Structure 1
Amino acid sequence: MHIAFHQLPPDARVWIYQANRSLTDAEMTATLPALARFAEEWTSHGRSLLASAGFRHQQFLVVGLNEGVAGASGCSIDASVRFVAQLEQQLGVELLEKSRLAFLPAGTVQVMTRTELKAAIAAGALTANTPYFDNTIATKGELDTEWPRPAGQTWLARYFGQEEKNPQLA
């Protein structure tokens, strides 16, 4: 069953897929019916899932699931990955590639490799306070409150020498 994303509870599970380039308004608008249809038809062991999907920052596809109604199974997660792969083909973007990192310096999403990350830090282009999109977050509550968050408060702290200041990250 499709639900508006904002109606998902804070403990709803989320999956974030990062595009390798910014999506245009036309691309996102053209894809919205497919996202709604996927959420409407998504099932787990024959049970309808209460789900939603949408784009954030023109760079991220976010799929949300209210597991309080019905949880995702391995097969249903596989179905969602197949759907994302179809979107990749349709939009001509990479969404399943996980090696790139995304930051939000000066309000614009910037995607880079780890090698580029080190160079950007050395050049002072990225700091511990630069917002970072940690796409490993698991819930809508985290999405709403901690995404993005300062890079120095994430697993990237070691790149900024922050692990001494925040022992939870060491």
Structure 2
Amino acid sequence: MFVPFENLSEEAKVWIYPSSRKFHQPEIPELEKKIEDFITDWKSDDESFKASYQLKYNRFIVFSAEGDKPFTNADIDLQVAFIIQLQEGYKVELLDKMNVCFKQGEYVQYKDLKDFKKLVKNKAVNEKSIVFDNLITSKSEFKYYWEVPITESWYKRFL
């Protein structure tokens, strides 16, 4: 069942899909409708299942879900298949975990790890830079540890 994001518990599972580009304003209503439709159909046979999403910075698709039954590989496969459809439909990359998302001023940047390391070496990214940890797994972690200074993330090893 689709619910508002804030109605999910802090322990709810989270999956974050960073986009290789910002979604454009004309794309967003259709994208949000597709995501809500997917969530409504996803695990619809499980009465305890609740799920939601957020579209952060018009760039990150954040799913969150919880229920009495554990998530199966088939449940995750459905989500990944949906994400692949979005990639193809919007001509974006959403599944590449070897990229780094970080802020430069008010803008969110998306770079592959090799280019990110060069930016650190050249001091274009420093200890005050904000990075996004897209590997977090709970709503609580998302709330407190997703968007942090590089010194509070695993990326600090590159400083």
With the shorter chain as reference, the TM-score category is over 0.9
Distance between the aligned counterparts of 2:28 and 2:70, measured in 1?
27
Q: Which amino acid aligns with 2:40?
A: E
Aligned to 1:33: 33
Task: Give a deviation string over 1:1-52, Cα, whole Å, max 9, x none.
Answer: 10111221111110001111111122121111111111111118x4252111
Aligned to 1:11: 11
Matches within 5 A, 1:1-170: 1-43=1-43, 46-48=45-47, 49-67=49-67, 69-160=68-159
Q: Which structure is richer in relative contact order (CA contacts within 8 A, separation 6 or more)?
A: 2
Deviation at 1:144, TM superposition (A): 1.4
Deviation at 1:103, TM superposition (A): 0.3
Do the aligned partners of 1:39 and 1:52 also contact (CA within 8 Å) in 2? yes
Task: Give a deviation string over 1:60-82, Cα, whole Å, max 9, x none.
Answer: 11111024x43311111100100
Deviation at 1:130, TM superposition (A): 0.8
Do the aligned partners of 1:101 and 1:133 also contact (CA within 8 Å) in 2? yes
CA RMSD of superposed structures (Å) = 1.5
Q: Which amino acid aligns with 2:139?
A: K
Q: Which amino acid aligns with 2:43?
A: T
Distance between the aligned counterparts of 2:150 and 2:69, measured in 1?
34
Secondary structure in 1 matching 2:135: coil
Task: Give a deviation string over 1:55-101, Cα, whole Å, max 9, x none.
Answer: 1111111111024x433111111001001111111211111121110
Secondary structure in 1 matching 2:156: helix
Do the aligned partners of 1:2 and 1:52 also contact (CA within 8 Å) in 2? yes
TM-score with structure 2 setting the length: 0.92
Q: Sequence identity of aligned pairs in percent?
A: 27
Q: Which amino acid aligns with 1:134?
A: D
Q: Which runs of 5+ in 1 are unaligned?
A: 161-170
